[in-house]
């Protein structure tokens, strides 16, 4: 049996990800929603109504459908591919094409590609067309079946970011199938982990999945570093940044001497305040700092925008064990040690625990 007594309540205007190993019935579950597969028993309700109450093609036209290899019609231009569902709904050719052109921009495609054929596009562009085609008639529901599995990791990340951006603007009810747990955690508002036979192992927001996997199956499926990955959900805004160990490259001897006790290392910046690298204080000579001899500062993070995971990653990458915080323009706004980040992580964990206790006691 592909899917056995699965019961799920999919939230409106959010991304629900179905994830699991191959053969777990996630695709079958998705295809039951638009009746590409008919369940042998049980029912699926959409806004409280059984989906079998309306004609099957009416139902399907009210749901966007995106599949793995985009499934574009190779004999039609990009514009006409996107205009498919509006045309099925009886829109005029001009109106449907105008709408399609609008959608191309929405998914980040150059409208110069409108008259091209699918074979002239890259895999990533084809998948964008697939998403645009699914959105063309502005359906409230979007079904996505491993849409980004066939593209390389860099393109996939771009497509995922684009989907999140589009979702911010449009607020669709999205059901997204993937076998990639990282993709599930990145995209999902809620994630349903399925085990073989379509049995639900856990249905929870990604942060909860990482902090409290329901059983060993979910834990194994999440992989080894779920503790680190969970840090993605904690903001770095609360980190206590130090500005004392930061010196500009033109700093004079008195300034260097006054900053030396602040930390075991000083961060040297250029005249605009952009980080150049770390150095031990006694290796710096006023007026003669050689940027080539500084230690690499790793990857900086942007407080508030980036998560604690990025901050910790920056500290781990830095040879000094200190992470560099920068503003949107890349200017150093402070530095923070691994110890301070570690304390922030512990505080964040206990904060979550307190919130959960409060909710449990409510």
Applying CB under 8 A, does 130 fall inside the site for other proteins? yes
Applying CB under 8 A, does 112 fall inside the site for other proteins? no
Applying CB under 8 A, does 53 fall inside the site for other proteins? no
Q: How far is the CB of 142 from other proteins (least distance, A)?
A: 12
User: Which 176-195 positions form the footprint of other proteins (CB under 8 A)?
Assistant: none
Q: Are strands 63-66 and 141-145 parallel, antiparallel or unpaired?
A: parallel
Q: Which of 239, 224, 241 is nearest to 348 (CA)?
A: 239
One of 20, 118, 147, 314 touching other proteins (CB under 8 A): 118
Applying CB under 8 A, does 349 fall inside the site for other proteins? no
One of 26, 61, 172, 230 touching other proteins (CB under 8 A): 61
Applying CB under 8 A, does 205 fall inside the site for other proteins? no
Which tokens in the block code for residue 139? 């359906």
Given the complex with other proteins, which of 69 and 211 has the nearer CB atom?
69
Angle CA 150–24–16, to nearest 5: 70
One of 52, 73, 261, 272 touching other proteins (CB under 8 A): 73
Binding part of the chain for other proteins, among 116-124, 296-304, 317-325, 340-348 by CB under 8 A, reads 116-124
Applying CB under 8 A, does 84 fall inside the site for other proteins? yes
Q: Which of 344, 341, 302 is nearest to 325 (CA)?
A: 302
Q: How far is the CB of 76 from other proteins (least distance, A)?
A: 7
User: Which 131-170 positions form the footprint of other proteins (CB under 8 A)?
Assistant: 133-134, 143
Applying CB under 8 A, does 117 fall inside the site for other proteins? yes
One of 21, 71, 205, 264 touching other proteins (CB under 8 A): 71
Residues contacting other proteins: total by CB under 8 A: 31
One of 22, 40, 43, 74 touching other proteins (CB under 8 A): 74
Q: How far is the CB of 34 from other proteins (least distance, A)?
A: 6
Given the complex with other proteins, which of 88 and 244 has the nearer CB atom?
88
Applying CB under 8 A, does 60 fall inside the site for other proteins? yes
Q: How far is the CB of 75 from other proteins (least distance, A)?
A: 4
Residues that bind other proteins in the complex, under the rule CB under 8 A? 31, 34, 36, 56-61, 65, 67-77, 84-85, 88, 117-119, 130, 133-134, 143
């Amino acid at each position: 049996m592909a899917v056995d007594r699965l019961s799920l309540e999919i939230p409106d205007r959010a991304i629900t990800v179905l994830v699991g190993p191959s053969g777990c019935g996630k695709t079958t579950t998705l295809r039951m929603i638009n009746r590409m597969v008919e369940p042998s028993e049980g029912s699926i309700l959409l806004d409280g109504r059984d989906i079998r109450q309306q004609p099957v093609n009416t139902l399907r036209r009210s749901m966007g459908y995106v599949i793995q290899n985009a499934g574009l019609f190779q004999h039609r231009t990009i514009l006409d591919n996107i205009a498919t569902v509006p045309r099925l709904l009886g829109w005029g050719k001009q109106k449907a094409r105008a709408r399609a052109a609008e959608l191309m921009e929405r998914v980040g495609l150059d409208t110069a590609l409108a008259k091209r054929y699918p074979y002239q596009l890259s895999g990533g562009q084809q998948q964008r067309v697939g998403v645009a085609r699914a959105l063309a008639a502005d359906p409230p529901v979007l079904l996505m079946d491993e849409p980004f599995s066939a593209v390389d990791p860099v393109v996939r990340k771009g497509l995922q970011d684009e989907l999140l951006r589009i979702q911010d603007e449009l607020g669709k009810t999205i059901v997204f199938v993937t076998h990639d747990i990282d993709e599930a955690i990145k995209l999902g508002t809620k994630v349903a982990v399925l085990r073989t036979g379509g049995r639900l192992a856990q249905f929870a927001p990604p942060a909860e999945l990482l902090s409290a996997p329901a059983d060993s199956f979910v834990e194994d499926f999440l992989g080894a570093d779920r503790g680190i990955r969970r840090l993605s959900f904690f903001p770095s805004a609360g980190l206590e940044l130090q500005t004392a160990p930061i010196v500009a490259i033109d700093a004079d001897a008195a300034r260097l001497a006054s900053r030396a006790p602040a930390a075991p290392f000083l961060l040297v910046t250029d005249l605009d305040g952009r980080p150049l690298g770390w150095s031990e204080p006694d290796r710096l000579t006023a007026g003669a700092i050689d940027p080539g001899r500084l230690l690499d500062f790793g990857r900086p993070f942007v407080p508030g925008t980036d998560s604690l995971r990025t901050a910790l990653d920056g500290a781990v990458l830095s040879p000094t064990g200190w992470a560099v915080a920068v503003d949107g323009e890349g200017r150093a706004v402070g530095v923070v040690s691994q110890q301070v980040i570690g304390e922030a992580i512990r505080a964040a964990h206990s904060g979550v625990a307190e919130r959960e206790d409060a909710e449990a006691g409510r």
